[in-house]
Structure 1
Amino acid sequence: MSLARSVTAGDPAPSVAGLAVQSEGLSKRFGRQVAVDAVDLTVPRGSVYGFLGPNGSGKTTTIRMLLGLVRPTAGGHRLLGERMPDHAAGVLPRIGALVEGPAFHPYLSGLENLRRLDAADRTADPRTASARIGAALDRVGLGAAAGKRYRAYSLGMRQRLALAATILTPRDLLILDEPTNGLDPQGTREVRALLTEIAAEGATVLLSTHLLSEVEQVCTDVGVMHRGRLVAQAPLAELRASAAPRARVETDHPSEAALVLRELGLVEVATAAREATGVLGSVPPEKVVAALVHAAVPVRGFAVNAPGLEELFVSLTGEGFDVSG
């Protein structure tokens, strides 16, 4: 399948000024294992970028390299237009991040944990700390549980507190690794709404996930990882438009219908009980119907279906994705 702006070696690099995240050949090996293999990310400023892939595809390792938590074996990257790690001191305070789950002091309350984090931030104004912390807790739905000790929080509440920590001060970039992990459906919807609000306020969001529903509802751009490689990267609308629709013929003679589809040049032709299907490509649907009638194949029904995201990503990776949530 040919994907718009898919990753190829000859693609020109977009302007650095227009990118919140850019990597060139970013790679990581652990002994003989290649965890991330020459990844070239291009995350536009102001986008909600869905960093998608099955578990174990290299998403978290890539994020850890972007944030300087893991040293890359090869390649380099920029965040907010600045080369890393050379400009980390100036860039990282402008970034909120959640990587591999939250970690807080268990004996402190949610409020006290955020106070400690905010006090450690040299760029945060202590005069506005109480207002900012209260606003962050309210935005993630923890205002009523602010005084509760962290060790008594559920997994979903802990994830909400971690999200609150990422938005204590205004951020130009949020990098979030599975931010809805552990949340119930209501909490998941609230986080999606929050991410949409943050993006509308001008921030860029890099959202690592394996949930297609998150991508469909909040993302403007998508990068797909598979076995350590970035196998596709494009605006979501272009990714959808790049996929050829599939024709479905309802007939009592599916084998004869499949023969006509093959003669027309359709690919991935298949038959089932009273049905033949094939990918249209550049073949007009009306030509398919005319050819079936000309071949005296009785047609009970005909439909053209655009592939969903799940089908698109399975075609890229050969693996299924979690479509729940």
Structure 2
Amino acid sequence: MSVQQTGPARGEDSPATVRTHALTKRFRHQTAVDAVDLEVPVGAVYGFLGPNGSGKTTTIRMLLGLISATSGEIEVLGEPMPDGAARTLRRVGALVEGPAFHPYLSGRANLARLDSADPHSDARSAPARIDAALDRVGLLPAATKRFRAYSLGMRQRLAIANALLVPRDLLVLDEPTNGLDPQGTREVRNLVGELAADGTTVLVSSHLLSEVDQMCSHVGVMFEGRLITQGRLDQIHAGTAQTVRVETDRVGDAATTLRELGLTDVHLAGGHVTAQLGEVEVAKIVPALVDAYVPVLGFAVQRPSLEDVFVSLTGEGFDVSG
């Protein structure tokens, strides 16, 4: 299978919080990340999407200077990495497999412990900053509760609070909803939206397509170590054929009319017809059906899901629910 990378052209004039060029990581004879040109626009919620093992976490570790690249270039917040790490990383909050919290300390005490380990933190402002971070993630009422009593969703939110102890220009979240129940997932999704609204660029790594579809403004899709597409989410959806569904009791006549209009891949089923829209104007379809005396009992244009996009690019699917 040959997969071509697509996405915005690289250029110094386009503002980007994160930019890589030909980023590659090899482990002995295995290439985990293969010549990735990543571009995360300023202010975006960028969904870094792909199946487990596709190279997402390895890429993130290189961006944060946790492991070195085999080759390629990395730029974060306008600074080359890893050379600019000392200037850059204090402006970056990250949740990568989560910090190690002490089970018998409260949420507030855990954050105080982690904050004191940061050489750049101000001890005088720590209490106010810690409570502000807890409030931001909705944990202030549970600040004195021991970590061991926190639910999984609360633990994830505490990890995000740790990343927000000081103002951040970039927040990197690796699988932030992994293992969460629907309520915890909604909480994290809403928090990401609030952070982005306040001007923080958020890079969210996930293998959950439905979450990325609801949460993100931009997306990059990894597959077998390669970035196979990236760009605005609406543009990526638009690049995949849309499906028209017509509900009628005259499916044969409806199918004929749709074909005459130029729709393709027409399929008949009991009570409805589906077809690929292609270049046909949506506004022309219902009038044409009415003119052909086809009763239209229901009509919808179905946007392709991210799963459809992934399958169209790779010919394969992956676990969409986790």
Instruction: Normalising by structure 1, report the TM-score.
Output: 0.82
Task: Verify the 8 A CA contact 1:156 1:181 in the aligned structure 2.
Answer: no
Cα distance, 1:286–1:20 mapped onto 2, change above 3 Å: closer
Task: Verify the 8 A CA contact 1:243 1:306 in the aligned structure 2.
Answer: no
Q: Distance in 2 between matches of 1:227 and 1:84?
A: 24
- Whether 1:74 aligns to 2:71 is yes
- Aligned residue pair count: 317
Q: Distance in 1 between matches of 2:248 and 2:180?
A: 45
Percent of matched pairs sharing the same residue: 58
Task: Verify the 8 A CA contact 2:23 2:74 in the aligned structure 1.
Answer: yes
Cα distance, 1:108–1:286 mapped onto 2, change above 3 Å: closer
Structure-2 residue corresponding to 1:3: none
SS in structure 1 of the partner of residue 275 of structure 2: strand
Task: Verify the 8 A CA contact 1:102 1:158 in the aligned structure 2.
Answer: no
Cα distance, 1:81 vs structure 2: 1.1
- Whether 1:322 aligns to 2:309 is no
Task: Verify the 8 A CA contact 2:154 2:184 in the aligned structure 1.
Answer: no
Describe the superposition over 1:220-272 as per-residue Cα deviations: whole angstroms up to 9, x where unpaired: 21112222222221112322333332233556786887677667654444444
Cα distance, 1:256–1:43 mapped onto 2, change above 3 Å: same
Greater Cα offset, 240-249 or 258-267: 258-267
5+ residue gaps, structure 1, are 1-5
Counterpart amino acid of residue 302 in structure 2 = A
Structure-1 residue corresponding to 2:279: 282
Cα distance, 1:140 vs structure 2: 1.9
Q: Distance in 1 between matches of 2:158 and 2:296?
A: 56
Cα distance, 1:316 vs structure 2: 3.2
- Whether 1:19 aligns to 2:16 is yes
1:109 pairs with 106, 109, 123, which one? 106
Q: Distance in 1 between matches of 2:66 and 2:26?
A: 15
Structure-1 residue corresponding to 2:36: 39
Cα distance, 1:315–1:12 mapped onto 2, change above 3 Å: closer
5+ residue gaps, structure 2, are none
Cα distance, 1:202 vs structure 2: 1.7
Instruction: Normalising by structure 2, report the TM-score.
Output: 0.83
Cα distance, 1:153–1:258 mapped onto 2, change above 3 Å: same
Structure-2 residue corresponding to 1:303: 299
2:46 pairs with 42, 45, 49, which one? 49
Q: Distance in 2 between matches of 1:254 and 1:320?
A: 33
SS in structure 2 of the partner of residue 169 of structure 1: coil
Q: Distance in 1 between matches of 2:245 and 2:192?
A: 38
Describe the superposition over 1:200-223 as per-residue Cα deviations: whole angstroms up to 9, x where unpaired: 222111111233443343322111
Task: Verify the 8 A CA contact 1:247 1:302 in the aligned structure 2.
Answer: no
Counterpart amino acid of residue 230 in structure 2 = Q
Q: Distance in 2 between matches of 1:256 and 1:152?
A: 63
SS in structure 2 of the partner of residue 244 of structure 1: coil
Q: Distance in 1 between matches of 2:48 and 2:117?
A: 30
SS in structure 2 of the partner of residue 207 of structure 1: strand
Cα distance, 1:140–1:263 mapped onto 2, change above 3 Å: same
SS in structure 1 of the partner of residue 69 of structure 2: coil
Q: Distance in 2 between matches of 1:291 and 1:185?
A: 43
Cα distance, 1:274 vs structure 2: 5.2
1:166 pairs with 163, 168, 191, which one? 163
Counterpart amino acid of residue 89 in structure 2 = L
Task: Verify the 8 A CA contact 1:16 1:22 in the aligned structure 2.
Answer: no
Matches within 5 A, 1:174-189: 174-189=171-186
